[in-house]
Structure 1
Amino acid sequence: MPSPSYARNAILPFPGGPIATVLGLLDDAGLALHSDREAACRSLTRAIALLRRDADFDSGDSRGGLAGWQVRRLSSYIDEHLDGAIRTRELAALLTLSVSHFTRAFKQAFGSPPLLYVARRRIEAAREMMLASDESLTRIAHVHGFCDQSHFSRTFLRETGITPQAWRRLHRSG
């Protein structure tokens, strides 16, 4: 069974596939069930959304936003550039779309605006590194495109409901 290092905020399948992502979300919900019911509910809600979205992609629903190849190209580009600045205009240029059209289409396809999606992917990747290494949180923050540990901690807390240090302790002991 995969560790709960997969994203609580996953919208599209990430490495390990959609089943592994959903299992990670369910692991997170199970861990939080007795200590933080709200976090458990958020994880379950996101797992349900991922399953629904995956079913929509499988049924041919284009979601009205971006074509499958565009979603794949953007996902790959974002994952490859998590360590640096990723600007909406650069993502739009990647698909030769205007920024305004791109922003609307991205939100339809991914379920959130580009910058929020990128922040979530950064947190997901940081969570994986936090479980796989003993690197300092400052180093993990910089490797994943955050300007400093404070920015990383605020974003992490907003997305997961827990600080990075507390999350690491909780998931390493379990």
Structure 2
Amino acid sequence: MPTLITPRDLPTWVPGQIVSASDGLGWKDVGHRAYLYTGLDVPIPAMDHYMVVRYRSGQTPMDRRVEGRWTRKRCTPGDFSLLTRSEQSHWHWTECINVSHTYLSDALMTRVATDITDRPVSEVRLHDILQAQDSVVTGIVDAITTEAEHRGLGGSLYAESLAIQLAVHLFRKYALINFRNDVPVGPLSSSRMRRLDEYLDTHLHEGVTIEQMAETVGLGVWTFSRHFRATKGLSPYDYVTRCRLERAVRLLSTGTQAIKEVAAMCGFADQAHLTRTMRGRMGITPARLRKEGRG
């Protein structure tokens, strides 16, 4: 399974000026960074933390794609966005903004979900929220930001207690908890897998979602995800990315299309997205691959 990026990796994909950060403070399971951003158009790989974005100053039209769906809102000071763990996204905004990020670890979210439900938890997902206002969310996030900036006595314990409060509130209003099922999960049948591969081959250039994949084989999303992982040993998202890369390799090795055309034919957001993904997963760029294939 491909490695998820960490919050510290984020500036590689979303360049901006770091205003404040909790780096080096010894916090556990929660992190903070504040950024000044100019307008950007950036695909972001899946991250290993849950993220709350709090808009502090500046306002901008904001477009975001999650699970193949684009959403457009206008984000202003006082708003927040949520991005669940292990979810690829694409963000586009045009104006300068000052934002704070709060990162919650999978361990924290799973532990809190287990404690409040008294059931074994298999997965937690935040809702796809690009723009909302909630004084509880922004109040806790602001308190975490203040702690990172002023570093009071007992800071690590204080930050963790705030993170737990934030997690509980998110579970009440903005999250879905999937519970562990101890019944063994078998692989998808060969006919279902064949039907899915045919669907992907036809629609790979589009924004394929897990809902569409599950519908193709006649299963619910959660059931499909469990059976798919039992079949392939990786998530549906990772499988789609692998299929896109395999198609890109074939086209680059044998075709004459420009690299940006190959990116579009394989479902990548743009040439830069293809290059970053190929370099990260295969250790080579499209241009280098094409050169070696023709050499």
Fold similarity call, TM over 0.5: yes
Preserved contact between residue 252 and residue 289 of structure 2 (Cα < 8 Å): no
Preserved contact between residue 205 and residue 267 of structure 2 (Cα < 8 Å): yes
Tell me the distance in 2 between the aligned counterparts of 1:134 and 1:98. 40
1:172 aligned residue = 294
2:208 aligned residue = 86
SS of the residue 1:83 aligns to: coil
1:21 aligned residue = none
Alpha-carbon distance, 1:162 to partner = 0.8
Match status 1:135 vs 2:245: no
Preserved contact between residue 120 and residue 159 of structure 1 (Cα < 8 Å): no
Alpha-carbon distance, 1:135 to partner = 1.4
Q: How does 1:13-162 map to 2 (within 5 A)?
A: 64-162=186-284
Provide, for residues 5-28 of structure 1, a one-character-per-residue CA deviation record: whole Å limited to 9, x for no partner.
xxxxxxxxxxxxxxxxxxxxxxxx
Alpha-carbon distance, 1:96 to partner = 2.1
Question: Which amino acid in structure 1 is aligned with residue 238 of structure 2?
Answer: L
Preserved contact between residue 156 and residue 162 of structure 1 (Cα < 8 Å): yes
SS of the residue 1:135 aligns to: coil
The structure with the largest alpha-carbon Rg is 2
Tell me the distance in 2 between the aligned counterparts of 1:158 and 1:120. 12
After the TM superposition, which segments of 4 or more aligned residues of structure 1 sit over 4 Å from their partners? none
Preserved contact between residue 260 and residue 271 of structure 2 (Cα < 8 Å): yes
Tell me the distance in 1 between the aligned counterparts of 2:192 and 2:291. 38
Tell me the distance in 1 between the aligned counterparts of 2:225 and 2:217. 12
Alpha-carbon distance, 1:66 to partner = 0.5
Gaps of 5+ in 2: 1-184
Tell me the distance in 1 between the aligned counterparts of 2:288 and 2:226. 36
Flag the structure with higher helix content.
Answer: 1
Alpha-carbon distance, 1:121 to partner = 0.6
Flag the structure with higher strand content.
Answer: 2
Tell me the distance in 2 between the aligned counterparts of 1:90 and 1:144. 17
Tell me the distance in 2 between the aligned counterparts of 1:100 and 1:76. 21
Tell me the distance in 2 between the aligned counterparts of 1:154 and 1:81. 22
Tell me the distance in 1 between the aligned counterparts of 2:186 and 2:280. 29
Gaps of 5+ in 1: 1-62
Larger relative contact order (Cα-Cα within 8 Å, sequence gap ≥ 6): 1
Q: Percent identity?
A: 33
* Paired residues, number: 111
Provide, for residues 98-150 of structure 1, a one-character-per-residue CA deviation record: whole Å limited to 9, x for no partner.
11111111111122111111111111111111122221111110111111111
Tell me the distance in 1 between the aligned counterparts of 2:187 and 2:280. 27
TM-score (norm 2): 0.36
SS of the residue 2:207 aligns to: coil
Tell me the distance in 2 between the aligned counterparts of 1:70 and 1:112. 17
Preserved contact between residue 126 and residue 141 of structure 1 (Cα < 8 Å): yes
Tell me the distance in 1 between the aligned counterparts of 2:246 and 2:270. 17
Name the Cα RMSD after superposition: 1.3
